[in-house]
Structure 1
Amino acid sequence: MLFVMVQRKIIWAFLTFFLFSFSYEKVNSISKSREKKMHRIVLSHPAYEDSLICELRETYDKQNRLVGFNMDVLSVYCAEHVCSVDTVHLFWNVMGQYLRYELPEGVTLEKNDGKPFVKQDYELLHEILNDENARFNKLSYNDIVKKNDVEHGLELDGYSGATIIAFDDGEAVKGAALTCYTLWHYVYGDVKSYMRRVAIEKTTEEKAVEYLLMDSLEFKIFAIEWFTKEHVYKPAISDMVLNEMLLYPQLIKIGIAYMEQLPVKLYQNVLYELCGSSVSEIRLAALKSMSGSLTQIEGRFMDDVFVLFKGADVYKELNLLFNIADQNNINSKASIELALSLLEKDIIVSRRAYYFLLNQTLNQKQNRVVQKYYVEYKSFL
């Protein structure tokens, strides 16, 4: 029995080497003069105990611009080596987003029962690989194939009822869950970080601006990451990033991280614009950034910000605003006027304004308003 197992492992190792060598030889015959556009990388895959060595190839358009990546992988991991294992070509765009898969000429994927994929199976496989939130994201290899089944040479699919979990229609190709699992984890595994690294190295400022203005959030995020990494803090660039942040709240976190590296004046201009947004999430992010800033916030700038919050009633925002004022020892007409107007709001907001006013220098009239509030609400203070 031990001899058989060792023999199977040797056969599997040879098969892996042969399939990848065949693919690499085919690619190298075309790209020998462009070695820098191929990367030998080490990947981990949940179906494999050992790391895998693969070759990631860069894809260029006719203008010699990087537009994506491709890589050859094995179609399925088969512990007992009883499956039909083929080479599959995977393709991603420059951001590492899955585009498609292709099969070498004459290759047909097979299911557990030896039946070939039909058109609908290939289409479903593409849909699964195109879904980064597919169910395979949270499944282990042993969820797909029962350990006791593997030991008996029965690599059965989820639809057969012989696995720990069962798949609903559309979640896996019937009879080929393991193939779906194997390929999905290649598409969304470690390779994405390698592609990101290469894309960053090959991007220029002009290209990053182009990415920023594209409709895809993925491209926008990449552009802002690139500007931050390359320390591109020109006013024209920061203005464009700000405009995108105001249009897409999903960019706020990464956009704020970029803006915090700007010269103080530019940074404060951005904060002012963000605080004037009609979206609470954006205003809150700006205030959090301001609160965590190591730069002393000027009184004149804070006065302008206080005016923006006239009529506001969101406690989280106002609490942060007053905290910032306290941190920077702000005692101004604008801050006092805002706090006094908030005494008419609900008890949560008005109480925060009251405590802020206690540390301010008030005139006689203002003191009377604060005292009146205290008399009326002292049981809540």
Structure 2
Amino acid sequence: MKHIIYFALSFCLFPWVSFISTDEIKHTLHVIHKGISLTEPVACTLVEITNEKALPHEFYMDVESVVCGDNQCKIDVVRIYWDELGHFNKLVLPDDVSLEKSEGKSFTNADYKKLHEILKNENSALKNVYKDEIVGTVGSEGVDAMSGETILLEKSTYVKGAVWTCYSLWHWAHGDVKQHIRDITGNSYSKSELQSFLQKDNYQLFALEQLIRKKDFSKKTVNAIINAIKTNPELLRTSMRYWNSAPGDIYQYGAQELLPAVNSANRVLYLTDILQTEQKLNTAFINATNPLIAKFSYQEIDIFLNILKEKKLTTPNTIAQLTALLRADDFLISRRVYYFLKPQELSADDKLKIEDFYQQWKHKL
């Protein structure tokens, strides 16, 4: 008889059970699993469970419990579940299967709880460890044996005696499959629905990613993304892919709207992108940015002046804003501006300001 076993803090193992849903849709994928190969994709089947509206509700995949590095691991087929955004949900085992550690010992309830916590951590150190690095520190005492004193992983990142299982399952849960799930879900929604998701905290990043993928540069979407970034500046970094693939006028519009609205750290990020972008900028953009100059930190000023130099966008209005900074409280800013202005074609009045600055500070130049 099938049975359900519950563990502490909501971690549980379920038997293979049927879920009430409108439909189950199979997707054949080819994904990279870091523990199997860094270059050869693995064929696998992802199952999409839809809700009563025929929209993605949940996904699952049957995978081998471990990619064994010492050829002594007990391998079982287990099932991983994700939500509609590709976040790990739960691990499911058949009722006749229990995971094993070294020396054939079964997982304890505490081990299952820890494994669940490991798999829920999207930023685990397991992300940056290669299979060969684990092989170099794992002994051959049995299933997933961890021998030797030098370990490349913090103990919190694996269940003792089951590093291979933790490593294998984590890379299934957080590897290429996740993006496939997000794209399948994204394809189920219209652009206008994705725009509305930009107003929902837990869906903002997903909506932004999908609108980038769909290359939607409509006015409504552009303004929706700008408003989302103003309320959640953490979206800015991801949004740079959107702006850089947009038409030039939209790139400039986004920058003009967002540069005054973000903090200094994010302005540094944005100005760095402007310096590196292949987008064509015009002097109208620089003139729109000029009012910010007086608020720039030294790092912002340094990048901004490099933009003016590399992209040849200096205007008389910009010169006027910069000469005012020769009297800035921060001498590092004044000196940086002085060296930028010195070779420029200046008015007689501005040349006098440059000379006055030199006479006052020549001992520090």
Scaled by the length of structure 1, what TM-score is found? 0.75
Structure 1 equivalent of residue 9 of structure 2: none
* Alpha-carbon distance in structure 1 between the residues aligned to 2:50 and 2:351: 71
Residue 188 of structure 1: how far off its partner (Å):
2.4
Kindly report which structure 2 residues correspond to 1:288-327, keeping only aligned pairs within 5 A, or say none: 288-291=272-275, 292=277, 294-299=279-284, 301-312=285-296, 314-326=297-309, 327=311
* Alpha-carbon distance in structure 2 between the residues aligned to 1:248 and 1:142: 39
Residue 127 of structure 1: how far off its partner (Å):
0.5
* Alpha-carbon distance in structure 1 between the residues aligned to 2:41 and 2:258: 46
Structure 2 equivalent of residue 336 of structure 1: 319
Residue 52 of structure 1: how far off its partner (Å):
4.2
Kindly report which structure 2 residues correspond to 1:130-279, keeping only aligned pairs within 5 A, or say none: 130-141=120-131, 150=140, 154-155=142-143, 157-158=145-146, 161=147, 165=151, 170-216=156-202, 219-279=203-263
What amino acid is the match of 1:321? F
Secondary structure of the structure 2 residue equivalent to 1:99: strand
Per-residue CA deviations over 1:83-141 (Å, capped at 9, x if unaligned) read: 54332110112332211111123433333344433322211111111123334334455
What amino acid is the match of 1:286? Y
Does the 8 Å CA contact 1:144/1:163 hold for their aligned counterparts?
no
Does the 8 Å CA contact 1:43/1:52 hold for their aligned counterparts?
yes
What amino acid is the match of 1:67? H
**Is there any run of 5+ residues in structure 1 with no aligned partner, and where?**
1-22
Does the 8 Å CA contact 2:133/2:152 hold for their aligned counterparts?
no
Decide which structure has the larger Cα Rg and report it. 1
Does the 8 Å CA contact 1:238/1:259 hold for their aligned counterparts?
no
Q: Which moved more, 1:244-253 or 1:320-329?
A: 320-329
Aligned residue among 22, 31, 40 for 2:28: 40
CA 1:148–1:60 in 2, change beyond 3 Å: closer, same or farther? Answer: closer
* Alpha-carbon distance in structure 2 between the residues aligned to 1:262 and 1:146: 46
* Alpha-carbon distance in structure 1 between the residues aligned to 2:89 and 2:31: 20
Per-residue CA deviations over 1:38-85 (Å, capped at 9, x if unaligned) read: 123344445547864321111212221113321011223457876543
Structure 1 equivalent of residue 10 of structure 2: none
Does the 8 Å CA contact 2:64/2:77 hold for their aligned counterparts?
yes
* Alpha-carbon distance in structure 1 between the residues aligned to 2:206 and 2:201: 13
* Alpha-carbon distance in structure 1 between the residues aligned to 2:178 and 2:145: 28
Kindly report which structure 2 residues correspond to 1:70-81, keeping only aligned pairs within 5 A, or say none: 70-78=60-68
* Alpha-carbon distance in structure 2 between the residues aligned to 1:361 and 1:95: 56
CA 1:316–1:201 in 2, change beyond 3 Å: closer, same or farther? Answer: same
Structure 2 equivalent of residue 128 of structure 1: 118
Does the 8 Å CA contact 1:297/1:328 hold for their aligned counterparts?
no
Residue 225 of structure 1: how far off its partner (Å):
2.8
Residue 375 of structure 1: how far off its partner (Å):
1.9
Structure 2 equivalent of residue 352 of structure 1: 336
Secondary structure of the structure 1 residue equivalent to 2:57: strand
More helix per residue: 1 or 2? 1
Residue 354 of structure 1: how far off its partner (Å):
2.3
CA 1:224–1:43 in 2, change beyond 3 Å: closer, same or farther? Answer: closer
Q: Which moved more, 1:192-201 or 1:51-60?
A: 192-201
Secondary structure of the structure 2 residue equivalent to 1:310: helix
CA 1:262–1:75 in 2, change beyond 3 Å: closer, same or farther? Answer: closer
Aligned residue among 78, 86, 101 for 1:111: 101
Does the 8 Å CA contact 2:58/2:84 hold for their aligned counterparts?
yes
Residue 176 of structure 1: how far off its partner (Å):
2.9
Q: How many residues align?
A: 343
* Alpha-carbon distance in structure 1 between the residues aligned to 2:269 and 2:115: 40
Structure 2 equivalent of residue 368 of structure 1: 352
Does the 8 Å CA contact 1:145/1:163 hold for their aligned counterparts?
no
* Alpha-carbon distance in structure 1 between the residues aligned to 2:72 and 2:270: 58
Structure 1 equivalent of residue 79 of structure 2: 89
Scaled by the length of structure 2, what TM-score is found? 0.78
Secondary structure of the structure 2 residue equivalent to 1:309: helix
Does the 8 Å CA contact 1:259/1:267 hold for their aligned counterparts?
yes
**Is there any run of 5+ residues in structure 2 with no aligned partner, and where?**
1-15
What amino acid is the match of 2:195? V
Q: Report 1 or 2 for greater relative contact order, CA contacts < 8 Å, sequence distance ≥ 6.
A: 2
Give the share of equivalent positions with the same residue, in percent. 27
Q: Which moved more, 1:45-54 or 1:177-186?
A: 45-54
